[in-house]
Chains A and B, each alone.
Chain A
């Protein structure tokens, strides 16, 4: 007879347990689970991404159909309330009673709210579930100031969320420093400075005594030292407490300060009942991270399926990005081990703090703290976890490397047993076998080994193991643009720039072979246009352009074109709108509003384009470059001019940006948006360049994308005035133009960039490459040499000759046939076409 297994709690660990069990147990158990939340498990670790646009579905940890496919009964939105250990039954709030043979408690923890008077007031919130985040968003809509109680890891993450919601943000910490658990005093001080520089006010040594009605805000916090703080939102993040109530009431052993006591097999004081995750107390410790919870889950799975395993503690090393500041803590960060020695490196100027804790004999790494720059995290963790012998001067591991050499331990130095991913316990050996078996990308490795799919902290190391192994196997990735040029696009760009090459023929003669093709010609055409900004239909460039560029319009499936005039920022006067409507009507064009806040006119025959553009230009329009790999649109919301919530003039800025960057040829199309407040109506975070107004100035986001592979843009800089904003965008765009691959959008460019966002910031903001002046000058040239290509074209009789379907006849293409639908034209389909042809011939 099948045994029944009941799991209480479908959080991160509960779900990880279920998924592991069904893979291992072969239908041996009849599984029932109680899930108190209204939705099955989701990724709490990445919960904050909810604010950057991820939906509850995106965060889900449960594959479609998981429960049904594995015959698991899930009681959603139902809390287990009692366990009767005599009768071996669990009863839920909705009255469901289930008899169990084995029971697993995975009830997690709850945020601790200090019992100060007033803690239940309006807008006093916590940060743990999707519902909590929804409540925060709602509270932020009407508030201006937000305060986080607790300056630990989660508190700082919550502070970032408040900041991103547009609130003036404060952090109130009881201890004398931030992140007291993980980092030491000096590290805490550096962290504090960095976080304050980002506009968050930090109050340490503050004991909240009560929360009362505010004078200017919803709430007022009163502190023991007599000070007060007005705030609309109060977010408690003062630690977590295990959810052990149900275990307590059925008489299981509970720790003095809470937590369900477990042994090395994760059994509670009742051997048929297990506890895993944040509710479990092992050896006097609660583990507030996922990786140890997953290790407990694996232990129980082994126990339930006849294997053997034990949980023997877990590493609490963490690396995080808190408000853009790298913070890492490894092992014995506080040097509590007997005889431990400490090395510190502190760089006041760039605000970096690093500390190594080393064993008495100077041979083993016991722990580390990194603030401001955590690049060495992977290497140090490997030293610490695998007991690798340290180099003679351990401090060399944290001193800046002036030569730019990569950090000490290459992946080659790691033994095969070294654990690369602690979330899924994947060793270097397992990764190497997967590579041997054909995984040649990080994504393939993730799918095959699960490494990197937990907290994600090990991905950089995973990537370097992959690269190192691939190189060893002699894989060479061919990065030639095409058979005509044995160079990357980036190489070609440099050849054009340094050699001052101005035509394709010259580049081909000097650096290529053959006659070119539809890959290299447009790529080089684009490079030449980006760099020299000549008229693209000049005789020597004409043959390089893609069809759309050659006729300055977008070819549609039937060979006709669409016409898109520029409407900067989406602002258009009634007169211009009428003029456009008249053109559409006169030429019988299909008219549609685009996603980029402009108007597309479809169905123009090649020979009609010049006449259409003559009229549009006379009415004051310019080309919209919808055909080019270039700036498309700068979308905007209506902004502070009209909107009740607007913080700044988004339309004005959008128009200015669009007029500045129009005409810039680039590796792929570029889209911008400007939102007038953090409600983000212009969807700027899905654009290559997104700008959002805040009370403190403009926030700049980069490398977002909508479309087939959406990518949320990265926050690049905040609190910018317009001048700085434009300077950064100038540099960013030209750097992209110079270094991206052909047809590579900024999102993919960013994902492939060594060093990622930090590197990009170091180039564009800190001018690490000493390039910024040059980048700005190049942009200035492009801006100065702008021309409306359609204006130039219609003024040039010679160029207009090509805008005919037949060079030797005025006839039209008889294959272009339209029918009417909803009062406008559309191309006839194959059936309709047959019919029309007949009619026409007759």
Chain B
């Protein structure tokens, strides 16, 4: 796995999402100040077939951190990527690291 510099910490939106382009992949980054967590998942919505997940609302359902698709409102677990309405659908999740005020996204199977 290789870490890629995605953006500055200030670029994140508290309680909301932004999208970064990392190695040609669209990655949605969410920041939940209440728990101090930053999550990274694919930006592509598998139901709506559009790059929009970074614009979804976040929160928790039954204790799982989630993002709700802005198109058709399915929920995805931000830690596992599994869709809460349909367990057979899973979106890609990425590891995140904060270092020196920069946000890094880890991508596997990719040479730097």
Contacts and interface: CB of A to CB of B under 8 A. Distances in A.
Interface of A: 483-484, 505, 514-518, 520-522, 539, 542-544, 546-547, 550-551, 555, 557-559, 801-802, 805-809, 811, 813, 815-816, 830
B48 A517 contact: no
Given A546-B70, A815-B50, A516 B19 contact: no
Contacts of A521: 57, 59
A517 B56 contact: no
B107 interface: no
Given A542-B16, A547-B55, A559-B48, 10 more contacts: A514-B63, A515-B65, A518-B56, A518-B59, A518-B68, A546-B70, A550-B16, A555-B71, A801-B11, A816-B51
Interface string B18-61: 11110000100100101100000000100011111001111111
A517 B58 CA distance: 6
B66 interface: yes
B13 interface: yes
Contacts of A514: 59-60, 63
Contact of B19 (A505, A520, A555, A805): A805
B50 A557 contact: yes
B19 to A, nearest CB: 6
A640 to B, nearest CB: 45
User: Of residues A555, A559, A809, which shows the largest number of chain B Cβ atoms within 10 Å of its Cβ?
Assistant: A559
B11 A807 contact: yes
B52 A559 contact: yes
Chain A to chain B: the 10 pairs with minimum beta-carbon distance, closest first: A543-B15, A547-B70, A518-B68, A559-B50, A517-B59, A518-B57, A516-B59, A807-B18, A543-B16, A809-B21
Contacts of A547: 52, 55-57, 70
A504 to B, nearest CB: 9
Nearest to A522: B57
Contacts of A484: 59
A521 B68 CA distance: 12
B22 to A, nearest CB: 8
A830 B55 CA distance: 22
Given A517-B68, A518-B68, A806 B20 contact: yes
Contacts of A807: 7, 11, 18-20, 29
B70 A808 contact: no
A543 B57 CA distance: 7
B32 A811 contact: no
B18 A551 contact: no
A816 B50 CA distance: 8
Contacts of B87: none
B92 interface: no
Given A802-B18, A806-B20, A517 B60 contact: yes
Contacts of A518: 56-57, 59, 68, 73, 75
Contacts of B49: 830
16 contacts: A484-B59, A515-B34, A515-B35, A516-B59, A517-B66, A518-B75, A522-B57, A542-B14, A542-B15, A543-B16, A547-B70, A555-B70, A559-B52, A559-B55, A808-B6, A809-B21
Contacts of A544: 15
Nearest to B22: A808
Contacts of A550: 16, 55
A830 B32 CA distance: 35
B109 interface: no
A483 B66 CA distance: 14
Contacts of B61: 483, 517
Contacts of B11: 801, 807-808
A599 B14 CA distance: 34
B68 to A, nearest CB: 4
A815 B18 contact: no
